[in-house]
Structure 1
């Protein structure tokens, strides 16, 4: 998603670092669309909850954890 404005959902933007883009590509290529979308929502909900509670967090690290948290459900990674 480089070269343009990243979508922001309720004040949360998906990280656009090289690592985050590579994670997105890997997870899209590895997980089903259902799990990819679920993992994306996990990041958004966690970031929103953290902001609401006034917590400081590394968005890139949170994104990585959220995106990989269910990869073990895929037969190739179980």
Structure 2
């Protein structure tokens, strides 16, 4: 992972995450048919390699949370 992205602590004792997150709504729905998992994993890999630690998702974003679960595992 690349160093240097600014971070913020969540709460008093929470983890540090990047100050600006990556919005993942378009990864699964709303902008056309979802790409194959491998392509979406590549985007997540690149974001993480760049230092991203703040993933913005919601249960209304199609299979977004399931996709992240597969990627995190």
* Bigger strand share: 2
Give the structure-2-normalised TM-score: 0.32
Give the structure-1-normalised TM-score: 0.31
* Bigger helix share: 1
